[in-house]
């Protein structure tokens, strides 16, 4: 291993005081991306990382080529039918970006290319097309473009008959927009320029001066975000206002774009709901009446306030109701019980309910592109840790399925029968059973010598379901076990699972992960010399917390775009996401939340002790977790750690929260992470 001197960041103490408590932040100055000294420090960290990993560069390139070779480069999505056209997204060999196309009436019809993102991305180091929307008459397409990675889009309109991009240009938006039924009017959401919170809805008529677009809705509560959508029935345009614990919707007939939006049910703190229109009713998924795991209700479309709602599927203590899909003849209900996805089919006729059969011990199943209302065919996806994703069309009347596509893993070496999948249960310190999904090559010995990568997220009620990754085979085929810890803070075991891992119970998320780590060690899957941990964003907070709590359990840790400076960030309401997240983390302007956050915030709890080997990644333009959080954290770790383990800060100077935008460029980032793990395991090929 080459030796080189790690960079140090200058210490410029800033005293931060709140509730009579004084914190000294030596690296507060790193939060100015326009300061040349900041850029110099990030570049020096990048240079150090490059120098220290120079001996792995060839291996990284080999890993990249290996992972890329498993991907079918000339791939395409399963077409879906919408308003008389089949829509297809496809990739061409050697190209990083998708091509969006459609065919009129039949799959044998000539292809019409809507957008070739490879052409649009030329000259940009980052490119993302989002919010593709087709006018009801099929002539125009709205689309959003982000060329920085901060999730700030510009909306344009394309005439699909002439191929012309119209002069209309709408900046500083979320990217998505919704067509009214007149084929001339769109609604879009604009972001606050400082916080990047989507807070305003505007109406635009094609050809009008964008600066004169009328403001339709302005969300004054800075804990709420705003969205715009259209019901599948095409009858209503919907403004959604949401915070962590509360939602509110407004509806407008899509035939009357210049009308007034009507409140569906006014916001009531703690009341969450979302709805779908069908016939002369709305169907509402809600936690009304203390339905912690949500229930399904219905209400007449002309009487939408909650006193008119009636139960359709009652609340169940052991089943989380996640979402619904409405078809002309069927209601499809997505549920979760015992940590696993279930899909319930309910004929509107009122008899013959049934569940789709799934056999595996651990899997992921969910509905996908079901844009057609008048069909008996449900499209869903199925995958597991060892089973590539498949897209399946299920005839709900005949109860037959047609596998439209299973992701191909090229190279001729992959066989899902070569891998074992397990779901095991660790016991937390408070007695709670925590599920762990894992996969590994058949034939490994439980002798404590296997390298094991334990991944988790554990925030926002986001469930980390078992998913397939062809890139992950690179680790599995070299002897790694991969495991997902389904810790509290997610929603795998119902809404209470989330509630027990947020606010003043947030530490359950961290102790659950530590207890899962102890479990896989105790069961001889691995040992502290071979256990690795990985998490990103709020999962990066998890990584920072557990290495303060139990650093001795891990040989190495990967922290991607980590949220690690919790107190300072949550006190700064100019930062994107902050105010909208008080219901997730707490508001530190209240002393009890301040004290609790400070007790686990990774940056505030760095101490003079040994830490595992660390690979930390970030993006200079990240809008979700600002780059300075990982930068400050690494600087403080360098100052305090008492070990000689690796500590890398790798900053993508051209990207944001999601990293590189090209499908193959993103694999190069995975190759960096994998080479970090494999190098520590002394696996060279």
For the record, the structure tokens of 184 come out as 């001339």
Distance of CA 682 to the CA centre of its chain: 32
Between CA 634 and CA 639 the distance in angstroms is 9
- Whether 622 is a known active-site residue: answer yes
The burial class, CB within 10 Å (0-12 / 13-18 / 19+), for 567 is buried
- CA dist 88 to 14, 91, 407, Å? 54, 10, 16
Query: 3-state DSSP call for residue 674?
Result: helix
Let me know: does 626 contact 33? Beta carbons within 8 Å: no
Let me know: does 441 contact 477? Beta carbons within 8 Å: yes
Let me know: does 404 contact 420? Beta carbons within 8 Å: no
- Whether 124 is a known active-site residue: answer no
For the record, the structure tokens of 669 come out as 């980032």
Residue among 384, 437, 537, 675 flagged as catalytic: 537
Cα-Cα-Cα-Cα dihedral sign, residues 18, 23, 28, 31: negative
The burial class, CB within 10 Å (0-12 / 13-18 / 19+), for 130 is middle
For the record, the structure tokens of 7 come out as 């960079």
Let me know: does 633 contact 60? Beta carbons within 8 Å: no
Let me know: does 90 contact 99? Beta carbons within 8 Å: yes
Residue among 515, 622, 650, 679 flagged as catalytic: 622
Query: 3-state DSSP call for residue 469?
Result: coil
Query: 3-state DSSP call for residue 661?
Result: coil
Q: Which single residue is written with the structure tokens 């990584």? A: 543
- Whether 125 is a known active-site residue: answer no
3-state secondary structure 496-540: HHHHCCCHHHCHHHHHHHHHHHHHHHHCCCCCCCCEEEEEECHHH
Residue among 512, 657, 675, 679 flagged as catalytic: 657
3-state secondary structure 235-276: CEEEEEEECCCCEEEEEEECCCCCCCCEEEECCCCCCCEEEE
Between CA 458 and CA 620 the distance in angstroms is 25
Residue 89 pairs with which residues in a beta bridge? 100
Residue 613 pairs with which residues in a beta bridge? 556
Which among 653, 670, 673 is positioned nearest to 126, based on CA atoms? Answer: 653
Between CA 357 and CA 167 the distance in angstroms is 51
DSSP H stretches of helix in 157-217? none
- CA dist 116 to 101, 112, 147, 152, Å? 8, 11, 15, 21
Between CA 223 and CA 573 the distance in angstroms is 10
Rounded to the nearest 5°, which phi and psi values hold at 104?
-85, 120
Cα-Cα-Cα-Cα dihedral sign, residues 149, 151, 152, 158: positive
Active site residues: 537, 622, 657
């Amino acid at each position: 291993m080459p030796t080189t001197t790690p960079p140090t960041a200058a210490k410029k103490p800033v005293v931060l005081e709140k509730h009579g408590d004084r914190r000294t932040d030596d690296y507060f100055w790193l939060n100015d991306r326009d300061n040349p000294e900041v850029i110099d420090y990030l570049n020096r960290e990048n240079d150090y990382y490059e120098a220290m990993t120079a001996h792995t560069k060839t291996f990284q390139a080999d890993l990249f080529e290996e992972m890329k070779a498993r991907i079918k480069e000339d791939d395409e999505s399963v077409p879906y039918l919408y308003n008389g056209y089949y829509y297809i997204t496809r990739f061409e060999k050697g190209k990083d970006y998708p091509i969006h196309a459609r065919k009129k009436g039949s799959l044998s019809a000539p292809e019409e290319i809507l957008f070739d993102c490879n052409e649009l991305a030329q000259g940009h180091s980052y490119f993302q097309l989002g919010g593709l929307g087709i006018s009801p008459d099929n002539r125009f397409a709205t689309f959003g473009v982000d060329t920085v990675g901060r999730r700030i889009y510009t909306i344009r309109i394309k005439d699909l008959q002439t191929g012309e991009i119209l002069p209309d240009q709408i900046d500083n938006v979320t990217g998505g927009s919704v067509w009214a039924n007149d084929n001339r009017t769109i609604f879009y959401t604009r972001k606050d320029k400082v916080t990047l919170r989507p807070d305003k809805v505007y109406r635009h008529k094609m050809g009008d001066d964008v600066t004169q677009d009328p403001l339709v809705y302005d969300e004054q509560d800075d804990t709420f975000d705003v969205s715009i959508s259209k019901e599948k029935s095409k009858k209503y345009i919907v403004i959604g206002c949401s915070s962590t614990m509360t939602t509110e919707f407004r509806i407008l007939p899509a035939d009357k774009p210049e009308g007034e939006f009507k409140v569906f049910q006014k916001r009531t703190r703690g009341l969450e709901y979302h709805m779908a229109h069908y016939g002369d009713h709305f169907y509402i998924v809600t936690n009304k009446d203390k339905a912690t795991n949500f229930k399904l209700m219905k209400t007449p479309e002309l009487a939408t306030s909650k006193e008119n709602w009636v139960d359709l599927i009652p609340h169940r203590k052991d089943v989380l109701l996640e979402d619904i899909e409405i078809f002309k003849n069927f209601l499809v209900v997505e549920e979760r019980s015992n940590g696993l996805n279930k899909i319930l089919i309910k004929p509107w006729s009122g008899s013959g309910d049934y569940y789709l059969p799934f056999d595996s011990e651990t899997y992921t199943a969910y509905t996908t592109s079901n844009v057609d209302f008048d069909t008996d065919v449900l499209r869903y996806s199925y995958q597991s840790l060892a089973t590539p994703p498949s897209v399946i069309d299920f005839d709900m009347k005949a109860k037959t399925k047609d596998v439209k596509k299973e992701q191909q893993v090229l190279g001729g070496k992959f066989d899902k029968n070569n891998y074992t999948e397990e779901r095991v249960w660790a016991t937390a310190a408070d007695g709670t059973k925590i599920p762990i999904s894992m996969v590994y090559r058949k034939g490994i010995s439980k002798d404590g010598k296997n390298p094991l990568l334990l991944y988790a997220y554990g925030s926002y009620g986001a469930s980390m379901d078992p998913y397939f990754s062809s890139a992950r085979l690179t680790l599995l085929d070299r002897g790694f076990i991969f495991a997902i810890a389904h810790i509290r803070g997610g929603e795998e075991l119902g809404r209470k699972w989330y509630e027990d891992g947020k606010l003043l119970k947030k530490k359950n998320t961290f102790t659950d992960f530590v207890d899962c780590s102890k479990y896989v060690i105790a069961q001889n899957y691995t040992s502290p010399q071979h256990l690795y941990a990985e998490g990103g964003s709020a999962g990066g907070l998890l990584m920072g917390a557990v290495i303060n709590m139990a650093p001795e359990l891990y040989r190495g840790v990967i922290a991607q775009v980590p949220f690690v400076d919790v107190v300072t960030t949550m006190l700064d309401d100019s930062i994107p996401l902050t105010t909208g997240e008080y219901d997730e983390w707490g508001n530190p302007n209240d002393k009890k939340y301040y004290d609790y956050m400070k007790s686990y915030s990774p940056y505030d709890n760095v101490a003079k002790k040994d830490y595992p080997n660390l690979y930390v990644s970030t993006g200079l333009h990240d809008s979700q977790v600002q780059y300075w959080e990982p930068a400050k954290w690494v600087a403080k770790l360098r100052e305090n750690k008492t070990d000689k383990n690796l500590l890398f800060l790798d900053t993508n100077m051209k990207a944001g929260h999601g990293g590189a935008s090209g499908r193959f460029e993103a694999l190069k980032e995975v190759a960096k992470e994998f080479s970090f793990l494999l190098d520590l395991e002394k696996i060279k090929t």
